[in-house]
């Protein structure tokens, strides 16, 4: 029998991962909206999230969650962090025993501060939990550009099976047992990307932006290690690779949020116009809670939190890093 994959979530990345899996195995995507499922089945597109990009013709979709899950051998969760637990609780009513749950979500749960695989272990104990992460911009992958990703799970047998589902010539998949490091890096890089986007909006220059990205990597690495991650993970695809892609790409949602904030718009204005979730906004609050818990100084994350949640401005966050006519310098973003 061939492995059957169910993808939960019809956003840009969930759809893209479904498209990839459909090259190798029968894949059924669950979309909340029946009209989206019909579009994928009949037109092989998802124009709301991925306009102008064709999907693999063998990718099928349904708005019936039981239909998507009850025969699946692997369940892929492509749901934002704030809806992850609720969606997984519904999946739990239909999923067969021992089926692996693969998370695509790069965020942390509000309140509990749990990583997504930890949520999986709470909601569906006994199911192998894994994460797919890395520098993966959906539009570029669908356009046929080469990319690489990491499957992180402590079980080498599960890792091998998941790798075979998604690995192909232009999408290379590697394995890593450091689940904590991969998930922390994937969540925290979104916060740094907002800071990098603010640099774009403020037109600070590439030197300043590179400085922020580099020091941002240091921040996420230090917190990630304190949370159980391995140092090498943060210099690899799940760490530096994902961080660079998210901080520099015009397709990055979190970088876009930061750019708009740098241009003087409010966080509410930016979020209201978007039809996709920028995980870094809510993650910044959780990161500051974790930084306090673990005793890690994170000035970049603190400034992003201030702009997103405390009414500060991007210009205030970059005080001391923006050229001023009077040559004055206040308190810098980077306190090192």
Q: Quickly tell me which residue has 């890690």 as its tokens.
A: 296
| Predicted confidence (pLDDT) at residue 107 exceeds the cutoff of 80 | yes
Determine the pLDDT at residue 334: 53
pLDDT band of residue 300 (cuts 50, 70, 90) is very high
Report, in angstroms and rounded to the nearest whole number, the Rg of the chain calculated over CA atoms.
20
Which residues neighbour 116 within 8 Å (Cβ) at sequence distance 6 or greater?
77, 81, 84, 103, 105, 107, 109, 131, 183
> Collapsing DSSP states into helix, strand and coil, what is residue 133?
strand
> pTM score > 0.75 for this model?
yes
Domain assignments of the chain as residue spans, ordered by start: 5-177, 180-317
The β-bridge partners of 75 are 6, 101
Which pLDDT score is estimated for 323? 52
pLDDT at 235 exceeding the cut of 50: yes
- Under a CB-based contact definition with an 8 Å cutoff, are residues 127 and 98 in contact? yes
How large is the average pLDDT for residues 106-132? 97
| pLDDT greater than 90 at residue 276 | no
Q: Is 60 exposed, middle or buried (0-12, 13-18, 19+ CB in 10 A)?
A: middle
CATH code given to domain 180-317: 1.10.1040.10
Instruction: Show Cβ contacts of residue 157 under 8 Å, excluding neighbours closer than 6 positions.
Output: none
Q: Which position among 4, 106, 189, 209 bears the catalytic label? A: 189
pLDDT of residue 321: 63
Distance separating alpha carbons of residues 282 and 308, to the nearest angstrom: 8
Q: Verify whether residue 189 is a known catalytic residue.
A: yes
Q: What integer pLDDT is reported at residue 333 of this predicted model?
A: 58
For the cut 60, the answer to whether the pLDDT of residue 324 exceeds it is no
Fold matches, 5-177 and 180-317: no
pLDDT per position as a tens digit, 123-139: 999 999 999 999 999 99
33-58: pLDDT as tens digits: 999 999 999 999 999 999 999 999 99
Question: What average pLDDT does this structure show over 269-294?
Answer: 91
Instruction: Give the integer Cα–Cα distance in Å for 321 and 208.
Output: 7
5-177: CATH, from 3.40.50.920, 2.60.320.10, 3.40.50.720, 3.40.640.10: 3.40.50.720
Q: What is the dihedral of CA 109, 111, 112, 115, to 10 degrees?
A: 20
How far from 255 is each of 135, 212, 284, CA to CA, in Å? Answer: 14, 13, 14
């Amino acid at each position: 029998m061939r492995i059957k994959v169910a993808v939960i979530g019809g956003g840009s990345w969930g759809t893209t991962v479904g498209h990839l899996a459909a090259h190798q195995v029968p894949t059924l995507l669950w979309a909340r909206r029946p009209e989206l499922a019909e579009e994928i089945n009949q037109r092989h597109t998802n124009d709301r999230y991925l306009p102008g990009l064709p999907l693999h013709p063998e990718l099928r979709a349904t708005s019936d969650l039981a239909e998507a899950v009850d025969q699946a051998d692997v369940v892929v969760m492509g749901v934002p962090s704030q809806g992850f637990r609720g969606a997984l609780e519904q999946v739990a009513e239909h999923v067969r025993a021992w089926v692996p749950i693969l998370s695509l979500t790069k965020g942390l749960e509000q309140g509990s501060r749990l990583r997504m695989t930890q949520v999986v272990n709470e909601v569906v104990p006994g199911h192998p939990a894994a994460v797919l992460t890395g520098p993966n911009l959906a539009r570029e992958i669908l356009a046929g550009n080469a990319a690489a990703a990491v499957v992180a799970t402590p079980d080498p047998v599960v890792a091998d099976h998941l790798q075979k589902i998604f690995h192909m010539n232009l999408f290379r998949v590697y394995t890593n047992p450091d689940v904590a490091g991969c998930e922390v890096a994937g969540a925290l890089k979104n916060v740094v990307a907002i800071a990098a986007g603010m640099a774009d909006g403020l037109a600070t220059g590439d030197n300043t932006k590179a400085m922020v990205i580099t020091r941002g990597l240091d921040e996420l690495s230090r917190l990630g290690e304190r949370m159980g991650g391995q140092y090498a993970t943060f210099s690899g695809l799940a760490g530096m690779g994902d961080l660079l892609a998210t901080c520099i790409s015009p397709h990055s949602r979190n970088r876009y949020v930061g750019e708009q904030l740098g241009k003087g718009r409010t966080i509410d204005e930016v979020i209201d116009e978007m039809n996709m979730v920028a995980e870094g906004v809510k993650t910044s609050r959780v990161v500051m809670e974790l930084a306090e818990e673990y005793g890690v100084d994170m000035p970049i994350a603190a400034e992003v939190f201030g702009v997103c949640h405390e009414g500060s401005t991007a210009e205030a966050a970059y005080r001391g890093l923006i050229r001023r006519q009077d040559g004055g310098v206040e308190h810098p973003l980077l306190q090192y």
